[in-house]
Amino acid sequence: MTVLHLADEGEAADLAAFLSRLLHYDRSAAVRLQAAGTALAVFGRPPSFEVLAVRAVRLAKPYENGLDVTLDATVSAGELLESVDEAAATAAVPAPVTGPPWAGLLPPRGGWRQEPGLPAPDALRALVGAAVAEFRSRTRELPEERRTRAELDDIGRDIWSRTVGETRLPVRAVHAAQSLGFLRPASAASAGSAVSPASLALFSSGAWLRLRTPYGSIAVRHAGLGSLGLSVR
């Protein structure tokens, strides 16, 4: 069994929290793991948001029991979470699973350039709060006979597809970042660990946008992740 040695207990706790949040939205969630040296990237797709979430994890050292160069596997998020030992700062890589289609369609590794116009973290959290309040208000106003899944989806699509500030980033990407713990307010983070304006950035590469925070990134494709015009790795 391959054992990952995480940099410290904090990295282990953050990885466990990320996996728990993914499982909240999909109890059968899978994640794709890619690592080389002492850097691990964990990719997941919470279905409610139609985005890719990426959690970067620091490793104390490469792998035990057979892997000494790279790791690239799609595994059960639940099984990986069960293997995380926060006290020992380790995690065991579960047996690979047949991955969902998105697991073979990842954003490009390079070619990213920073995009201007991204609001400050507090403004982003306020934007999400206002969008959630609008969704609840509009759904409450619907007559009972119109509260169908299709009607709710239409309202959600209208709200979450709006763009953020002067950027092309859809609001759903910021909602995903907040829901997955990537936009931590000062009250919810230890001193010095809250997201600051300087640590938040928006990048683009081809058809992809990536919202980067100190705790992870949210990647979204302009045409939507359902399109197949992506590189396969």
Residue 103 lies in a domain: no
The answer to whether residues 95 and 46 touch, using CB atoms and an 8 Å cutoff, is no
Residue at which a domain ends, from 72, 98, 124: 98
How much is the pLDDT for 191? Answer: 44
Helix (H, G, I), strand (E, B) or coil at 164: coil
The answer to whether residues 210 and 112 touch, using CB atoms and an 8 Å cutoff, is yes
Q: Are 130 and 177 within one domain?
A: yes
Q: Are 87 and 54 within one domain?
A: yes
CA distance 211 to 206: 15
How much is the pLDDT for 37? Answer: 80
Residue 34 lies in a domain: yes
How much is the pLDDT for 186? Answer: 52
The answer to whether residues 197 and 153 touch, using CB atoms and an 8 Å cutoff, is no
What is the value of pTM for the model shown? Answer: 0.85
How much is the pLDDT for 2? Answer: 85
How much is the pLDDT for 70? Answer: 76
Q: How many domains does the chain have?
A: 2
61-76 pLDDT, tens digit each:
876 655 556 789 999 9
The answer to whether residues 201 and 212 touch, using CB atoms and an 8 Å cutoff, is yes
How much is the pLDDT for 1? Answer: 74
Q: Are 148 and 92 within one domain?
A: no
Q: Are 77 and 137 within one domain?
A: no
User: Sign of dihedral through CA atoms 144, 145, 151, 153?
Assistant: positive
Q: Running DSSP on this structure, what letter comes out for residue 188?
A: G
| Contact residues for 19 (Cβ-Cβ < 8 A; gap 6+) | 31, 42, 44, 77, 78, 80, 81, 84
Q: Are 90 and 121 within one domain?
A: no
Helix-then-strand count for the chain, H and E: 5, 10
Query: In terms of Cα–Cα distance, which of 79, 105, 103 is closest to 92?
Result: 79
How much is the pLDDT for 128? Answer: 95
Q: Are 59 and 133 within one domain?
A: no
How much is the pLDDT for 105? Answer: 86
How much is the pLDDT for 158? Answer: 94
CA distance 211 to 203: 7
The answer to whether residues 154 and 139 touch, using CB atoms and an 8 Å cutoff, is no
Q: Are 120 and 35 within one domain?
A: no
Residue at which a domain ends, from 52, 73, 98: 98
Q: Are 141 and 189 within one domain?
A: yes
Q: Are 132 and 200 within one domain?
A: yes
Q: Are 43 and 10 within one domain?
A: yes
- Residue 47: which CATH number? 3.10.150.10
> Which domain covers residue 33, as residue numbers?
3-98
Residue 22 lies in a domain: yes
Residue 217 lies in a domain: no
Q: Are 65 and 117 within one domain?
A: no
126-155 pLDDT, tens digit each:
999 999 999 999 999 999 899 899 999 999
Give me the residues of the chain with pLDDT under 50, please: 187, 189-192, 224-233
| Contact residues for 132 (Cβ-Cβ < 8 A; gap 6+) | 175
